[in-house]
Structure 1
């Protein structure tokens, strides 16, 4: 009789362990074996592929490998109007060609773009979870061809279920008072279990009344702005001024979410910054790298709020997507409130782009008036 439980739990729990391992393997530049029923395929990050490994994969592929690219990257390669993931045949796994198609700003589509399969889409999801560029070399294989290889195997169903399962598994692992400048009555609450097991933090400022709509800000981590005071964004201002406002207005909760670079990760954020220094708009820079306007998810943020006893919020944000995500998670948004940063010559184009291209509610006149010198 087959076992219904393993050392790591029941089958659905064990499958999540496999995804955790697959993310680690993929991020390390090693191939992961994806399973869809009886179909098997090796998935390898195009960004991290090395010549020796690619040569071995080419021998396995026998001319049937292909490159999976996001719709955003395909649009930049010349596939205008593309809205879905697509694949390009690579009869020979040529690293130079792959680099051009996946990484170069002047790359162009050089072959017909075929529709993506369920396995292709999961391969791209694995890349997103691993915070590498959304470009994947996929090699269909047989079980016999990879027998004995030290590969992590994961089902496409497990990868597709991963984000929701991780959000549901969030647990509080630590909490302590941490007095802050301008907000001495503050508690940090650390959650574990989100995407990639990255810790998430709730900062409870003052004593918010949980029976009323609680002022809440969902703040995505920004190393450059929050910690170093970068002038390229308004994140640091929004972070510190929100905490001070909460301290002066009966409290609130700020969720500090590990979603650097609109969910793309710090390395891809720096790639985008390099492109911006060459004249690209913030969203165009992300599209060159293969990312859409925003890769962030907020389902785990809602789980954090619920565990803290919050049911109704006043959302401190300029981003309608955050408001929609909170509502979709079953929380009541009683009101919204804008969060202003300080404009400067380095970030004014960025702020205008958020307003014009991503629908952020930003009053540029009010911002400029705030930055004007006082008499």
Structure 2
């Protein structure tokens, strides 16, 4: 899987178990490649008026479209990228076709997400070059959290609490390294206050006002520090799942679409990407490796509660974690509440 993801980021074709060859449209380097068919997401197909309302209910699902003339990478990119819609308003004509290799198509869309590229491929293109083979079933093994192991730990005093320890986790299958920050002294006699925090470069590091990630991170650490005043402790699980799992580049593309008037959910779907692609099983595995089975979970997101509970973590209490909004993130927070089910007032 790692080789397939690397191939897509380099712009090389992949071939799946069905024998289908797929060349990534965004990164493809085979300038002479051309194909009559493309694999895109259902949401993108809906934008092109090629999917009905029932199909569009699964926006990340794959769709095959056939063009009247062979497509090169150059004229396929406006089909793949909604940022080019205004510059290239006329596309087609296209015809949607059934997919007889559904599992491979679904796997290809997921591989594109993991590679951080737009989910769009030329299908069985001529002059694409040698393809990297991947079996769609390998995705399950690649994402199995049992592969995650505890790598190392070190003392790390932080501004919220000097009595803190950082613990790094990694998997042989994944270059992303997750970390846990233990605030206070770990104790089997007391449930820790736990916060699952997904990486957000713009909010955590740059102080973006478009989201509430930075303030949530700071407030969680200070809440855990407060726990230590009564001999309690806390765990911040910092997961490398930027942009709710779609990656930094695609998150910034979504920001551009938000500036055009789309909300968070619609912007992701317009890119052909899921609005929620994080794997919270990673957090459950991190807790397991720390020897923690029962927690107080600081979250407004019921999906986190459900995911950890399904993985065997006992959640004795859900602790609300809502912070004041600002003019720049007010719509973002409203979308969280109204469309993503977050428990916000």
The counterpart of 1:264, out of the listed 246, 269, 290, is 246
Superposition pairs of residues 104-115 of structure 1, within 5 angstroms? 104=82, 106=85, 110-115=93-98
Q: By how many angstroms is 1:208 displaced?
A: 4.1
- RMSD across aligned positions (CA): 2.2
2:46 — aligned with what? 75
2:274 — aligned with what? 292
1:350 — aligned with what? 332
Query: Residues 252 and 323 of structure 1: is their aligned pair in 2 closer, same or farther, counting only changes over 3 Å?
Result: same
Distance 1:194 1:128 in 2: 19
2:284 — aligned with what? 302
Q: By how many angstroms is 1:334 displaced?
A: 1.4
Q: By how many angstroms is 1:181 displaced?
A: 0.7
Query: Residues 210 and 45 of structure 1: is their aligned pair in 2 closer, same or farther, counting only changes over 3 Å?
Result: farther
1:43 — aligned with what? 22
SS at match of 1:197: strand
Distance 2:261 2:74 in 1: 26
Q: By how many angstroms is 1:152 displaced?
A: 2.5
Distance 1:261 1:174 in 2: 26
1:361 — aligned with what? 343
Give me the TM-score of the superposition, normalised by structure 1: 0.81
The counterpart of 1:137, out of the listed 91, 108, 122, is 122
Query: Residues 195 and 338 of structure 1: is their aligned pair in 2 closer, same or farther, counting only changes over 3 Å?
Result: farther
SS at match of 1:113: strand
> How far does the alpha carbon of each residue in 1:244-302 deviate from its partner, in whole angstroms, 9 at most, with x for none?
10011121111101111111111011111122222221222111111222111111211
Contact 1:282 1:353 (C-alpha < 8 Å) held by counterparts = yes
Q: Which has the higher contact order (CA 8 A, sep 6+)?
A: 2
> How far does the alpha carbon of each residue in 1:84-127 deviate from its partner, in whole angstroms, 9 at most, with x for none?
32111246123354223211354677423233322212211211
Contact 1:89 1:111 (C-alpha < 8 Å) held by counterparts = yes
Query: Residues 96 and 24 of structure 1: is their aligned pair in 2 closer, same or farther, counting only changes over 3 Å?
Result: closer
Superposition pairs of residues 225-240 of structure 1, within 5 angstroms? 225-240=203-218
Q: Does 1:120 align with 2:105?
A: yes
Query: Residues 158 and 140 of structure 1: is their aligned pair in 2 closer, same or farther, counting only changes over 3 Å?
Result: farther
Q: Structure 2, unaligned stretches of length 5 or more?
A: none
The counterpart of 2:139, out of the listed 151, 159, 162, is 159
Q: Does 1:93 align with 2:71?
A: yes
Query: Residues 171 and 286 of structure 1: is their aligned pair in 2 closer, same or farther, counting only changes over 3 Å?
Result: same
Distance 2:132 2:214 in 1: 40
Q: Structure 1, unaligned stretches of length 5 or more?
A: 1-18, 364-375
Give me the TM-score of the superposition, normalised by structure 2: 0.88
Contact 1:173 1:191 (C-alpha < 8 Å) held by counterparts = yes
2:146 — aligned with what? 168
SS at match of 2:342: coil
Contact 2:21 2:131 (C-alpha < 8 Å) held by counterparts = no
Distance 1:30 1:210 in 2: 50
Distance 1:74 1:236 in 2: 35
The counterpart of 2:157, out of the listed 176, 179, 182, is 179
SS at match of 2:27: coil
The counterpart of 2:4, out of the listed 2, 13, 22, is 22
Q: By how many angstroms is 1:194 displaced?
A: 7.3
